Amino acid sequence: MYAKSFEDRLDRLQRQPGGAPTEELIDSIIGPRRPATGVLPGLAGGICGTATGLAMKSLQMGGAGLYAEGSLVAEAVAMAVPPAFLASCVLAIAAGFMHRRRPKLLQFAGMNLLVIAAAVLS
């Protein structure tokens, strides 16, 4: 059986043409909204990743890097880079497990590791 006119179709659907949509219908279409996380976590992760990545790159290049060999700054950077890289990796793994509760942490850690990899591999 099929409807021949528009009015028959409306009657078959038992719908009123001027009726307002229900709250359930609106919620099912729109769905739950998540708050925006913003740009700051990604920017902070990029800055930290740039500092760590450039320090790692300068350590790879030896005396030709940003720091002269034998200087106090070079020694401090050489001692700070491995813990910083390890902390970035641990933070990224922890952020992967806590991504539902702390999406900003995942944004920070992901950008941090991405920039470190880009700096070291360039």
Q: pLDDT for 59-76, tens place per residue?
A: 777 655 556 666 777 788
Distance separating alpha carbons of residues 101 and 13, to the nearest angstrom: 43
Alpha-helical runs (H) found in 1-122: 6-13, 23-30, 40-61, 72-97, 103-121
What is the predicted pLDDT for the residue at 94? 95
For residue 30, being part of any structural domain is answered with: no
> Could you tell me which of 86, 104, 105, 108 has the C-alpha nearest to residue 95?
105
The two most distant CA atoms of the chain are separated, in Å, by: 91
Domain that holds residue 79: 40-121
Q: Across residues 85-104, what is the average pLDDT?
A: 92
Residues 85, 61: contact at Cβ < 8 Å?
A: no
Distances (CA, A) of 58 to 44, 46, 81, 92, 109: 21, 18, 10, 23, 22
For residue 22, being part of any structural domain is answered with: no
For residue 73, being part of any structural domain is answered with: yes
Cβ of 88: how many Cβ atoms within 10 Å? 21
For residue 98, being part of any structural domain is answered with: yes
**What pTM, to 2 d.p., does this model score?**
0.63
For residue 46, being part of any structural domain is answered with: yes
Cβ of 9: how many Cβ atoms within 10 Å? 12
Percent of the chain with pLDDT over 70: 75
Number of domains in the chain: 1
